[in-house]
Amino acid sequence: MLYNLVRSFLYPFIFIFLLFKPKKMKFVFTRFFQDISILKKGEQYIWVHCSSVGEINLSDALIKKLKENFKDNILITVFTDTGYETALNKYSKDNRISILKFPLDDMFILKKIFNYIKVSKVILIETEIWPNLITLGNKMSKVYIINGRISNKSFPRYNKVKWILKPLFSKINGFSMQSDEDKKRIISLGAEATKVSVSGNLKFDISFEEFNSSEKTALKKLLKSNSRKIFVAGSTRDGEDSILIDIYKELKNTLLVIVPRHLERVSEIETLLKDSTLSYKKLTDLENNPCSEEFQVLVVDKMGVLRKFYSIADITFVGGTLVDIGGHSLLEPLFYGKTPIFGSYLQNVKDISRDILTLGIGYKVHNKEEFLNAINLLETNPVSEDKIKEFFKSNKNAAEKTIKFMEEE
């Protein structure tokens, strides 16, 4: 009640603020005023809520298992615009799946949706804690946190408000966590131990795209890579590109491909490259006007192509690890048989990075010298692809375990 009173009090001030912020205004209004008639009125749904692109992608296997094991339709809500577009691209042709932008936990809109359809389950991917969605879900269906994790960074913050979280957690029917440590943490924050299970990480169940030899050859030809090695830096964050450019200058016969996590940073990367006097091209320009001359750096200025670049790479770096972000998907380069290099900020991929290092199928680096040494080891002592395949095989079936957990609750 207090949560909604505060929201009601703040709404007028927020809307006045939004009058001067057109982009934010559009973001809010497209979530508050969307057509819910795309849903099948009165029919039964499983409601799956994701935050962004990452959660949409890792939910692939879970969505498939939900369709196989339950007759319900599926409603997917997504917080970010990029996540929403990704969901549309994946599922818009599936007549059992409907997609909406998440209405920012507004009680009235959520009630409208719950009254328009019958919801059997609300599934929150990872630790998406929205009080109104959880409260209404508890009243009208069952609520589950799936693929849950509590990072080193977020745990102290959650701990300060566990007096708020505990009554909210009592409304959740089950917590399917990624690891034993995540299980211990969620219990310490107020979840009932009997409701908590460990099902592993859904990321291992992601169906990655396969690229045939002709597709890879065409991409290499577009890049004018010729006999050069290809160094792909994926999901880079602010502060990492300058480090990578500095490392690249020490390499010979190599093409650097920078794939920023957020496209709005492309102009910043261009400035860095101009200052460094390195020749570069942007992917969209290259696709529209292929060039005949070699260049040193490619800046990828479009979404959804990182995996294809990983598939042709000789050297791979995973971003968000040289700066205090916590890391992005280490599994993507591994799936394509590439040994990832990453920094020491790994709180978002802690368990996966630990297993990778234990098995010796990746390199953690702290500075330029260690990075260059890792590149040298990749050339002189490459990791067996069979070893990487075994890593994936031994960690699969998190989606199946999750479904089993929900059926038992």
Q: What is the mean pLDDT of residues 234-253?
A: 97
Cβ atoms of 236 and 261 within 8 Å: the answer is: yes
Co-location of 290 and 182 in the same domain = no
Co-location of 195 and 95 in the same domain = yes
Residue 87 in domain: yes
Co-location of 148 and 293 in the same domain = no
* pLDDT at residue number 155: 93
Co-location of 156 and 232 in the same domain = no
**Residue-number span of the structural domain to which 110 is assigned:** 35-205+397-408
Residue 29 in domain: no
Band of pLDDT at residue 347, cut at 50, 70 and 90: confident
Co-location of 263 and 225 in the same domain = yes
* pLDDT at residue number 370: 98
Residue 4 in domain: no
Co-location of 198 and 217 in the same domain = no
Residue 25 in domain: no
Residue 20 in domain: no
Angle at 385 between CA 381 and CA 389, to 5 degrees: 140
Is the predicted pLDDT of residue 109 greater than 80, yes or no?
A: yes
CATH number at residue 157: 3.40.50.11720
Strand partners, 19: none
Co-location of 93 and 234 in the same domain = no
Is the predicted pLDDT of residue 254 greater than 80, yes or no?
A: yes
| Domain total of the chain | 2
Co-location of 148 and 265 in the same domain = no
CATH number at residue 343: 3.40.50.2000
Is the predicted pLDDT of residue 1 greater than 80, yes or no?
A: no
Cβ atoms of 177 and 148 within 8 Å: the answer is: yes
* pLDDT at residue number 231: 98
The rounded percent of the chain whose pLDDT value lies above 90 is 82
pLDDT tens for each residue of 31-42: 999 999 999 999
Co-location of 190 and 91 in the same domain = yes
On average, the pLDDT of the chain sits at 94
* pLDDT at residue number 333: 96
